[in-house]
Amino acid sequence: MTRLRIAVEHDGAIRPTLAGLLMFGKYPQEFFPQSMITFVQYFGTTMDERTPQGARFVDNRRFEGPITEMVEEAETYIMSAMRKSSLIEGIFRRDIMEYPRESLRESIANAVAHRDYSPYVRGSYIQIRMFADRLEVQSPGGLYGNVTVDNLELEHSTRNARLMRMMEDMQVVENRGSGISAMLHAMREANLEPPPGSMTAAHRFK
């Protein structure tokens, strides 16, 4: 475990690293409460629109646990919340989801892998918002290294190298540096516009 940096020796005891705790801890949120994913589904295209019954949200969930479970549960749940249409091909019916599963998974996994876990933003969590016309994934921390909104597909920098390696080993993410390209490719294959990345004033990337 120490060789893989899942744990380190400290004061004569073996203690988990932050990456090791987030990946393999039974409940990492006991120590880092905001290292979770939240999902809110809105009725319209803005946060202000309400359902006919006056509710602010159509759905409101949070996903906790180790990263492997958290990403899987968030992906499965959000896919079930999407609208879908059906295409008849001969005697078969094919369901077409509102957004490609590959794009959703890559966006969630990338948000977890590349978010800022430093004390400055450790109190922030990953937010996923589903509107009637779009899906937003917002991750704490700005873009890292030489990466900008304009070169996301070309430039690759890893803020959390050990965590990324563990996520690769556990097959939460695939080949390093290919996530954004895979997400955008799946969007284009589904005839959807690639999402415009942006930075917020609170140092969050979405």
- The pair of structure tokens assigned to 175 is 């080949």
pLDDT tier, 3 (very low <50, low <70, confident <90, very high otherwise): low
C-alpha 50/C-alpha 57 separation (Å) is: 7
C-alpha 16/C-alpha 135 separation (Å) is: 35
pTM over 0.75: yes
Specify the DSSP class assigned to residue 194. P
Pairing, β 84-89 against β 7-10:
unpaired
Q: Which of 17-26, 91-100, 146-155 has the lowest mean pLDDT?
A: 146-155
Domain boundaries, the chain: 7-192
pLDDT tens-digit map of 48-80: 999 888 888 899 999 999 999 999 999 999 999
C-alpha 70/C-alpha 135 separation (Å) is: 18
Residue 206 has what pLDDT?
55
Contact 16, 25 (CB under 8 A): yes
What is the dihedral angle through the alpha carbons of 78, 82, 86, 87, rounded to the nearest 10 degrees? -80
* 165 or 180, which is more confident: 165
Is CATH 3.40.1190.20 the right assignment for the domain spanning 7-192? no
